[in-house]
Structures are given as C-alpha cells and as structure tokens.
A and B are shown apart, each in its own frame.
Chain A
Amino acid sequence: GAGVSQSPSNKVTEKGKDVELRCDPISGHTALYWYRQRLGQGLEFLIYFQGNSAPDKSGLPSDRFSAERTGGSVSTLTIQRTQQEDSAVYLCASSLRPGLAGRQFFGPGTRLTVL
C-alpha cells in the first residue's frame, strides 16, 4: 500500500506570506503527527491528531502555526506570516493508533525556505 505522502516537496516563500503544507497518512492510521526538523537539530514535535481532534497543541511554536485534519485522513499545517526562522523540513507521520506512537511511518517531508 501507499505510504505517507506530503506536498509540496519544496516550498520557497517570502517573509510574511502564508503557507499550507499537506499530509496524506497511510489509510486506516488514526494517529497523525507533525514534526519540524531544522538543520543540525533533532525532530521537534509540533502537534498530534487522534482522528480529527488534536488533544495536544503544546508543541506549536507560536500562534502563527495551526493545523487541522479532516475526515480522519488528510491534514494541513498552516504557517501564517512566515519568518526566516520557520525555514526547516516539516515532516508528517502516522501510526495505526496512539498506543503504537513509537512505530510511526514518516513522509518524505516538505522543505520550507523563507526568504
């Protein structure tokens, strides 16, 4: 079956613009996670979805960041008024259920560059 897909693979934007990043998880996976990976840094947890709800938004770095998930499937991470420090690879992952959080299947990521 298909793995986790993300789009776009690369996004270059100007400071102050809004961007939307999309994630399609593996079919049937109820849990979905967003991470940020800055150059030379570890993966930084952003947000987690169980179905369509996000019990924990504590990882979002500022109120410019938001995310939603619809139909228990596709998720969108939105960054408003982008800043240069938002430049990073944004990774999405899914797991069959939250109890298997460790066994996450990752997408290829979206590389965001803010000029």
Chain B
Amino acid sequence: EDQVTQSPEALRLQEGESSSLNCSYTVSGLRGLFWYRQDPGKGPEFLFTLYSAGEEKEKERLKATLTKKESFLHITAPKPEDSATYLCAVQASGAGSYQLTFGKGTKLSVIP
C-alpha cells in the first residue's frame, strides 16, 4: 500500500527564516511526486511535479527536491504570504495508475 508521511505537522517561522518540509514516501514504483499548497477554505493548488531521484524544481522562494525515499520542500526567506498547508502526494507507476496518495500536510505559519 502506498504511504506518504509529512513532517513536521506544523511549523512556525519568523519572516526570513529559511527551513525545509519533509515528505517520506513508500510506493511500489514512483510515477511522480507532487507538491500542492492549500490555503484555508480553498482547494489545493499545484506547485511541483518531480519524477526521478536527483530532480529539483524551483518557484520563487520554494525549491523541491527528490530522493528515492523522500522529498524536501525548501523555503528560502519566507514571507507571511507563504503561510499555508503544504501537501505532498505520490502517484504509483503501472498501467491505469491515476490515483494520488496524499500526506496529511505541513501547516506553515510565517510570522512578520
């Protein structure tokens, strides 16, 4: 069974204080790992797709990396508007595989 574990559950940072969120996964074969951002009362918003170990993607203050067992979402010099819950999901490989398995998320709060 595919599993995704995110840590920490919650993270409070001062504005400008860089940190990383962790996503550990177990999947029979990885087709892709995905990061989403979810603001309160809204649906998740797609951020990144990572397909293979060693791959990195960047967007503004966010950088996602992938190894064979985990992914990190690095946040550099965060701003209050980065406050949200960050979700990690995996998609297994295999014919007809379309289902995403999500972690519970990390709730990030950036304090001015």
Taking a contact as CB atoms closer than 8 A, the residue among B91, B96, B102 that contacts A43 in the complex is: B102
A42 touches B105 (CB 8 A): yes
Q: 1/0 per residue A67-84: CB within 8 Å of B? A: 000000000000000000
From A99, A104, A107, B100 is in contact (CB under 8 Å) with: A104
**Which of A31, A33, A59, A108 is in CB contact (< 8 Å) with B42?**
A108
Contact B104 A40 (CB under 8 A): yes
State the interface size on chain A (CB cutoff 8 A).
Answer: 27
Q: What is the bound-complex CA distance between A27 and B42, given in angstroms? A: 20
CB distance from A113 to the nearest CB of B (A): 14
Q: Of all chain A residues, which has the CB nearest B90?
A: A102
Q: Is the CB of B34 within 8 A of A43?
A: no
Q: How far is the CB of A47 from chain B (nearest CB, A)?
A: 10
Q: Which residues does chain A contribute within 8 Å of B44, judged by CB atoms?
A: 43, 91, 104, 106
- Given A31, A33, A41, A55, which contacts B104 in the complex, CB threshold below 8 Å? A41
A45/B43 in contact, CB under 8 A: no
- Chain B: which residue is nearest A99 at the CB level? B98
**Residue total for B at the interface (Cβ-Cβ under 8 A):** 25
- Among A56, A98, A104, A109, the most chain B Cβ lie within 10 Å of the Cβ of A104
| Residues on the A chain within 8 Å of B36, using CB | 106
Assess whether B87 is interfacial by the CB under 8 Å rule.
Answer: yes
Residue of B36, B43, B99, B100 with highest tally of chain A CB at under 10 A: B43
In the complex the two chains form, what is the Cα distance from A49 to B97 in whole Å? 13
**Which B residues are in CB contact (< 8 Å) with A108?**
41-43
Rounded to whole angstroms, the CA-CA distance of A98 and B41 in the bound complex is 26
Bound-state CA distance A91–B97 (Å) is 20
- CB-CB < 8 A to A33: which residues of B? 100
Give chain A's interface residues, CB within 8 Å of chain B.
4, 31, 33, 35, 40-45, 48, 55-56, 59, 91, 93, 98-99, 101-109
Which residues from chain B sit less than 8 Å from chain A, CB to CB?
4, 31-32, 34, 36, 41-46, 49, 87, 89, 91, 96-105
